[in-house]
Amino acid sequence: MRRALAGIALAVTSMVALSFLIPLALLVREQARNRATTAAEQRAAALSPVLALTTRRTDVQQAVSELGSSDQLVVRLPDGSLVGTPHAPADALERAVRRRETLTVDTAGGWVYLQPVVLQGDRVAVVEAFVPARDLTRGVAASWGVMALLALGLVGGSVLVADRLGARVVRSSRSLKSASLALGSGDLDVRVRPDGPPELQEAGAAFNTMADRVLDLLAVERELVADLSHRLRTPLTALYLEADRMGSTPSARRVAEAAGQLESELDAIIAAARTPLAPARPARAAAGAGRAKACDVAEVVAMRLDFWSVLATKQGRPCERSLTPRLVPVAFPEDDLAAIVDALIGNVFRHTPEGTAFAVRVERADRHVFLTVDDAGPGVADPGAALTRGVSVAGSTGLGLDIVARASRAADGELTITRAPLGGARVRVSFVLADAGGTGGGVR
């Protein structure tokens, strides 16, 4: 922008300067010529009274020497003799004598003025005033140089002012851009100092207002999440009471374990919601920070399948598992990975009728590990809508698959939904291996 503003200022100021300088330069040259020719005409006119009184050669020579040099003033006497060295062509002199008219002639050496003087006895004398070419342009070059310097100063000053103005605008724009990028990256404390033109100052103030509003909305949202999570403690307490009433049966133990796990999840959600807002990290940075908590995908899937197999047996759902014997570590917390597996298998139980078969596989590639869940249900008619956050295609919350997709992206993977060989939906999630830079992996 600074270069553009400087270029515009240079072009506009140059055009304005030229539009004034060219006519002014021509006017200066014309004035210098007029000054020189007027002085020559006055010298020629001053000899007319002398010639009217006397035409003696000595008297005329004395008058010429007093008015100027013999190179600039020449007198042609009525007898045809010349006082001085003529510069006008002979035909011009004859014409002035014959026609008795004033003439001006441009020659190679300068400018000639011929003024005839009619004397007694119908005699004619001619006064010639000569102006050399250097006198016609005397002072013109200096005037042009001064005007050129003034024009350069004007153009340079305008470009400098435009550059300073552009620097101010660019500085304000870059500050606003950096703050926007920082806010987009999760730095909720970033603010800008309104600076620059009034429009950019208004934009900076609007950005600060927007950032404050975003911070307020996030705080309200986190409080709402904490409140909603806390409300779940009431039905959770009722679930504990029901488990106590059931006695020490295996079903009661399973209910108590599930309630305990749910309570732990609620506590974690409430604690996270109550934590002061901190700058969010990009997905790759978050994934890299979790490398110290890497876990084995096959082990977590096997553990969660043991949990879901009890319900699958009760509902008559055939369950097939295929887990790679090789180690498949991913830079992901075990609790989060277990939540992803529960979300995928839970969708099968929620959206397919009882007795529907499903299969879970864990496969390892060169750099990725793939978790695939197939079912023999009706499938997913619109995979794009199913991956849209908050959009429910079967009466659910519309958050499960979006949570899985975001978790896979955080681990440099992806989630895809296709048709399974069993006839239903196939949901496949990929994660980058924690030892992807290595050559292989150990055997479990």
pLDDT band at residue 361 using 50, 70 and 90 as cut-offs? very high
By the 10 Å C-beta count (0-12 exposed, 13-18 middle, 19+ buried), 191 is classed as middle
* Distances from the Cα of 290 to the Cα of 195, 304, 370, angstroms: 40, 21, 19
pLDDT tens digit sequence for 94-153: 888 888 888 888 888 889 999 898 888 888 889 989 888 888 888 888 999 999 999 899
Architecture of domain 2-138: 2-Layer Sandwich (3.30)
* pLDDT at residue 428, as a whole number: 92
pLDDT band at residue 282 using 50, 70 and 90 as cut-offs? very low
pLDDT tens digit sequence for 175-188: 888 888 888 888 88
Over range 352-363, report the average pLDDT: 92
pLDDT band at residue 436 using 50, 70 and 90 as cut-offs? low
Is residue 311 pLDDT above 90, yes or no? Answer: no
Judged by average pLDDT, the poorest of 11-25, 276-290, 334-348, 363-377 is 276-290
* pLDDT at residue 233, as a whole number: 61
Topology (CATH level 3) of domain 283-432 = Heat Shock Protein 90 (3.30.565)
Over range 299-325, report the average pLDDT: 89
pLDDT tens digit sequence for 43-93: 888 888 888 888 888 888 888 888 766 678 888 888 888 888 888 888 888
* pLDDT at residue 320, as a whole number: 92
* pLDDT at residue 289, as a whole number: 39
pLDDT band at residue 280 using 50, 70 and 90 as cut-offs? very low
* pLDDT at residue 231, as a whole number: 65
Q: How much is the mean pLDDT over the chain? A: 81
Is residue 198 pLDDT above 80, yes or no? Answer: yes
